[in-house]
Copies of this chain bind each other. A is one copy, B any other.
Amino acid sequence: MIDKIVASVADALADVQDGSTILMGGFGGAGMPSELIDGLIEQGAKDLVIVNNNAGNGETGLAALLKTGHVRKIICSFPRQADSHIFDGLYRAGKLELELVPQGNLAERIRAAGAGIGGFFTPTGYGTDLAKGKETREINGRMYVLESPIHGDVALVKAEKGDRWGNLTYRKAARNFGPIMASAAKCAIAQVYETVELGALDPENIVTPGIFVKRVVRVGRAAAQLKVAA
């Protein structure tokens, strides 16, 4: 019997290696896998590359991970925020490499990795600093930039419900990067608020089929909600 549900966050993260590329779900606080991030800090893997839409808020979650100094590089679309002071400090001190990517290119590059696409032409960013040095091409009278997939070693995803096959559903706009990140990593780990019996999720409404998910771990809702709202 296949059972992807693991007992603890620590179990879920035990084999994360130094130097890993971590795809981390979330758009601001919504969909941020806070418990998995805390677990990753505890686990202690170093020299990480983090892919997330943002670069951390306040002192918790991704910001707390950055503070450990275990992150070498961050790939994101919107690092600068009112409360991104931990990122700001590290970046200004030259201690954190930044690859800034237009948000749609970020999403599409992650999706491309999951779908086996070697590269794609997008009009986004053409003629801007973020396309500097990239291959361009005119297609049917419009200019495009060639972008490459972003593969992850690990994906950390916050979902709502999961079952032992790894099927996932999400809640409202907390879905955001979760489904595509799960598809683009060698090892996708989902934290869920509820683990359900096989068959409890409607097959029409499973958003991430289990094929994309290696491990599912249940976390408490109250603690997480507090952190998200913080």
**Contact: B122 with A121, CB < 8 Å?**
no
Q: Does A144 contact B (CB under 8 A)?
A: yes
Interface residues of A in 130-186 (CB under 8 A from B): 137, 139-140, 142, 144, 148, 169-172
Report which residue of A117, A137, A171 has the largest number of chain B beta carbons within 10 angstroms of its beta carbon.
A117
Which residues in B have their C-beta under 8 angstroms from that of A108? 115, 117
**Contact: A122 with B116, CB < 8 Å?**
yes
**Contact: B169 with A204, CB < 8 Å?**
yes
Q: Which residue of B lies closest to A138 (CB)?
A: B118
**Contact: A137 with B118, CB < 8 Å?**
yes
Find A144's partner among B118, B202, B204 (CB 8 Å cutoff): B118
Which residues in B have their C-beta under 8 angstroms from that of A204? 169-172, 205
Q: Give the CA-CA distance A148 to B171 in the complex, in Å.
A: 35
Q: Which residue of B lies closest to A202 (CB)?
A: B205
Find A139's partner among B115, B118, B203 (CB 8 Å cutoff): B118
Smallest distance from the beta carbon of A180 to chain B beta carbons, Å?
12
Q: Which residue of B lies closest to A151 (CB)?
A: B140
9 CB-based A-B contacts, threshold 8 Å: A112-B120, A117-B120, A118-B123, A118-B139, A118-B140, A119-B120, A119-B139, A120-B120, A139-B148
Binding site for B on A (CB under 8 A): 108, 112, 115-123, 137, 139-140, 142, 144, 148, 169-172, 202-205
Ranked nearest first, the 10 interchain pairs of A and B with the lowest CB-CB distance are A118-B121, A120-B120, A118-B144, A118-B139, A205-B205, A119-B121, A117-B120, A119-B139, A117-B122, A117-B121
